[in-house]
Structure 1
């Protein structure tokens, strides 16, 4: 008799495979029990498919997802589609093996509309709207416990406002909400009545006013930890600030995005328990002037991904807060800013930065002064340090705990086979012995030549390379907002 692992043991194993979609798909084919366990995990957040497969296959996968969802629709919804001449093929004429919608823990209204708009590209807008309504209604009726809800209104090809038939108790478990400010106020009212345990809220301001219902929803939360505010055009978040500052004691993560240099950021100083702060203002950082003197005693992660017109504000901020920072991410190529990292941030473990081609000594200074540094991300391109001289510098000067290099390159790589082999040989002779991860991320995919593949495999087998990866930079890499549709 063949030995079978208990169900709870298989569940535990499969949970660790959540990010390994290829293996989970293989598990579907083993037997009914393996299929039942793995399909639940795969359908928790089915919308992430576009980050896990090549672009040319995304429409095919989207079509498969939609046809499966159509097969799961109740007969009443299928009849509505039929009456409106909406004919969508399904994988089988029989009933589906599973209630796929019921496995969902992440509901993205935007991704449902995106899939329908792309797959049903030859249907008219009313037919797309009807299909969206029926699919969304099915999710609302079938989901048992929702963790994340995503509902933005800027996707204009299908009507934005969705009428939710009711809000069942599964929203009590909702942990994350991503939405636009101009959604029908009734939506925010019903949420505020039942949903009080949100830990993360993302708001995109798409209107000049904010409804009282949205303010009440924010105010009613008990343990808000993560806040993301996105401003577009000349919109404003001023009238929502009183609701936000009620969470000044619990908030630990804040992301501000905008292009309006008249917005006041003085309220940010009230969040004294911030551990992570991301400041993504386009073209200007005049707003940052208000924060340069503020001290955040618990701040560990700072991200400023866009170019700063006045890096002196950031330098002053580092002088006041750099000692406690563990991670810094900058899109600036300022020599003064890079030197200030070495001076004011001695306890960094991770760093992402740009170096001009005359800043090799600055890189060495950072290595000498930041002895806890384990990982560095460096942007390469015209006018920047070369990959070869960075590799040579890492071997000679990187701290003892250093174990990861990420190379971001918007132009063809200048690395030749000899450069890589010399780097790995020199790394082999370093003390202490530690494996290194080398990740190359490019603006366009570029496969590795066969001879380089052989070299990489050789040094992997010797334990010198822990991980080597070359991949195309995608939207998630550029903005780190994997579900903003």
Structure 2
């Protein structure tokens, strides 16, 4: 049997990094395959178990049992004195790897779940004791963890070796409701190298949070999830402006209008922008002119990804206009409907057509009166691979018109078309489109219909044309 060189094996296993079943099969081939595949498989575990409750109890118990084998004797003795005997199922042979070194991500939810599954009784004292010993193990043995998700009120920085652990963290995610001002101040002292920061349920314009953000030396990605529909986050707006020179990714929501957009002109190097306004009920009371003013002062020369939810088309249009024609993906979901929405929608489609020559993926609401602009967009955006069109109107029979435009104007790169049920295609129009597509020898197209089920007659057309 011809042996693959290890570098080639590594490349193959990296391609399989999100396929644990295949990786497990590779481990069983021989020692070389096992040695290369095991670290990748355990890296998958550390990522996939961000929410351990998504996995079967049996799988979690097996994982936790292996981790328990690495508890030092001092911890095992301490636990034994409190009638906690671990590991539950002793592995007779010596473990072949130091699996703890393979963890790159950790969530406090995993530690909590591990303690509750391994303690077979309802004792908060024993659960807390075991959690503390697991954290001590992690701080001592898991030297490669760079991503940490903190969802506990436990003061984790008090454990021995916690300082070194948090010093090495690069990606931190936490729920603001669990973090006290004291915790933030303590963390700010030892945890200053965060490049990716995600904060959930932020319910106040906290000075302590502002100071923590300010202490980060190279913050590149910031996600703020607000949990207050009334308070203005002025201090947070200011600190975003102060960190703007390094920021490349910003996610704000679900009420973006709580934060003043004064920082936008400083976002010179931004590559990814997600503005989620899903929970804003008072659209008419929002000072959109302030947003337009500051975005009009901004340029986004490096912007590649734009995603919006419940935003005015005028704001979306302005962001695209101020971009540097490098946008690869646009996702515009549920734009706010104004009195002159068809005109605003037309302007947005035109702007994408003019300013996004490199776009690969597009999600867009399309007013039925603007199909001619869609035709121009498909002609100009010659690198499009995926499109997803929604609409707020029932537009039969214009669904067939859209199919005709797609058939005549779609770039050769297009391979996926998705739509919602309001695009009412006729049987004849659908069959004609599929026949035309087949005759052009283009990429096989993936046809995805969301929400309601396809009519059975449509399914028969797909069978006839061999479409999946």
Task: Confirm or deny that 1:102 pairs with 2:122.
Answer: no
Of 414, 417, 422 in structure 2, the residue corresponding to residue 402 of structure 1 is: 414
Q: 1:421 to 1:170 in 2, by over 3 A?
A: farther
The match for 1:64 is 62
Of 265, 271, 279 in structure 2, the residue corresponding to residue 269 of structure 1 is: 265
Q: How far apart are residue 206 of structure 1 and its match? A: 3.7
Once residues 454 and 130 of structure 1 are traced to their aligned partners in structure 2, the CA distance between those partners, rounded to angstroms, is 60
Once residues 422 and 52 of structure 2 are traced to their aligned partners in structure 1, the CA distance between those partners, rounded to angstroms, is 23
The match for 2:388 is 377
Q: 1:239 to 1:165 in 2, by over 3 A?
A: farther
The match for 1:331 is 333
The match for 1:219 is 214
Once residues 382 and 304 of structure 1 are traced to their aligned partners in structure 2, the CA distance between those partners, rounded to angstroms, is 22
Once residues 298 and 21 of structure 1 are traced to their aligned partners in structure 2, the CA distance between those partners, rounded to angstroms, is 39
Q: Which is worse superposed, 109-118 or 195-204?
A: 109-118
Q: 1:401 to 1:116 in 2, by over 3 A?
A: same
Give SS of 2:225's match: strand
The match for 1:177 is 172
Is contact 2:108–2:150 with CA below 8 Å preserved after alignment?
yes
Give SS of 1:198's match: coil
Pair member with larger Rg:
2
Q: More helix per residue: 1 or 2?
A: 2
Give SS of 2:162's match: coil
The match for 1:462 is none
* TM-score, length basis structure 2: 0.76
> Tell me, which stretches of 5 or more residues in structure 2 are unaligned?
336-340
Once residues 326 and 346 of structure 2 are traced to their aligned partners in structure 1, the CA distance between those partners, rounded to angstroms, is 17
Q: 1:93 to 1:400 in 2, by over 3 A?
A: closer
The match for 2:363 is 352
Q: How far apart are residue 217 of structure 1 and its match? A: 4.3
Q: How far apart are residue 329 of structure 1 and its match? A: 0.9
Q: 1:45 to 1:192 in 2, by over 3 A?
A: farther
Of 287, 300, 303 in structure 1, the residue corresponding to residue 303 of structure 2 is: 300
Give SS of 1:251's match: coil
Once residues 301 and 134 of structure 1 are traced to their aligned partners in structure 2, the CA distance between those partners, rounded to angstroms, is 44
Q: Which is worse superposed, 291-300 or 37-46?
A: 291-300
Q: Which is worse superposed, 101-110 or 289-298?
A: 289-298
Once residues 384 and 97 of structure 1 are traced to their aligned partners in structure 2, the CA distance between those partners, rounded to angstroms, is 63
Once residues 82 and 453 of structure 1 are traced to their aligned partners in structure 2, the CA distance between those partners, rounded to angstroms, is 64
Give SS of 1:72's match: coil
Of 248, 251, 260 in structure 1, the residue corresponding to residue 244 of structure 2 is: 248
Once residues 114 and 288 of structure 1 are traced to their aligned partners in structure 2, the CA distance between those partners, rounded to angstroms, is 45
The match for 2:338 is none
The match for 1:204 is 200
Is contact 1:102–1:139 with CA below 8 Å preserved after alignment?
no
Give SS of 1:435's match: coil
C-alpha offsets along residues 278-314 of structure 1, whole Å, 9 cap, x if unaligned? 1012243636543324232315345444223x44443
The match for 2:72 is 74
Task: Confirm or deny that 1:426 pairs with 2:436.
Answer: yes
Is contact 1:250–1:273 with CA below 8 Å preserved after alignment?
yes
Task: Confirm or deny that 1:314 pairs with 2:316.
Answer: yes
Once residues 356 and 108 of structure 1 are traced to their aligned partners in structure 2, the CA distance between those partners, rounded to angstroms, is 44
Give SS of 1:394's match: helix
Is contact 1:198–1:224 with CA below 8 Å preserved after alignment?
yes
Q: 1:186 to 1:4 in 2, by over 3 A?
A: farther
Once residues 199 and 207 of structure 1 are traced to their aligned partners in structure 2, the CA distance between those partners, rounded to angstroms, is 23
Is contact 2:254–2:278 with CA below 8 Å preserved after alignment?
yes
Q: 1:315 to 1:6 in 2, by over 3 A?
A: closer
> Tell me, which stretches of 5 or more residues in structure 1 are unaligned?
154-158, 460-467, 469-485
Q: Which is worse superposed, 416-425 or 231-240?
A: 416-425
Once residues 50 and 88 of structure 1 are traced to their aligned partners in structure 2, the CA distance between those partners, rounded to angstroms, is 21
The match for 1:438 is 446
Q: 1:106 to 1:380 in 2, by over 3 A?
A: farther
The match for 1:341 is 348
Q: How far apart are residue 202 of structure 1 and its match? A: 1.8
Q: Which is worse superposed, 240-249 or 415-424?
A: 415-424
C-alpha offsets along residues 88-108 of structure 1, whole Å, 9 cap, x if unaligned? 774544354433222111122
